[in-house]
Amino acid sequence: MYEEENREIKAVVERLLRDANAKCVYLVDKDGQLISASGETKNIDATSLASLTAGNIAATGGLAKLIGEKEFSILFHEGERDNLHISVVGQRVILVVIFDKRSSLGLVRLRVKRASEELSKSIQKLLDRMAAGAENENLLKEITDDDIERLFH
């Protein structure tokens, strides 16, 4: 993740938060790493949310394959107060929208669709850049055995 793409992604996520009248919006990597969080996120453990969402998508992805589907790209969980709308973006990342009665499933779906198209582009750009990998190289090569050893003292 780099500064430029991070800004782009953050801008799309924040607009989605406003347009969909949502409580909070998270972007999570399919491996369970949190990429971005916006909105009323204070009382939610984002790391746990990211890993459980990825587990959830992985499990439903497994179910999809069992019945001959490629994946279930949208999941919706309805609660008494808050609801979760989870969708896969660009086959690589997961968009999680938490909303309550101030919004509706229809509105969230509509806004998520538009945001997904924009996010897909930013993510593709990010993946291309990661594939080029120029910046990774510098950072990782500088790590010494002493650096690793020091983590444990």
Residues that bind other proteins (CB under 8 A): 1-3, 6, 29-33, 35, 45, 47-48, 51-52, 55, 58-59, 61-62, 133, 135-137, 139-143, 145, 147-152
Nearer to other proteins, 67 or 139 (CB): 139
Alpha-carbon gap, residue 30 to 51, rounded angstroms: 9
Dihedral sign (CA 64, 47, 29, 122):
positive
Nearer to other proteins, 20 or 39 (CB): 39
Beta carbon of residue 26, minimum distance to other proteins (angstroms, whole number)? 14
Nearer to other proteins, 49 or 112 (CB): 49
Burial of residue 108 (number of CB atoms within 10 Å: 0-12, 13-18, 19+): buried
Beta carbon of residue 37, minimum distance to other proteins (angstroms, whole number)? 11
Beta carbon of residue 30, minimum distance to other proteins (angstroms, whole number)? 7
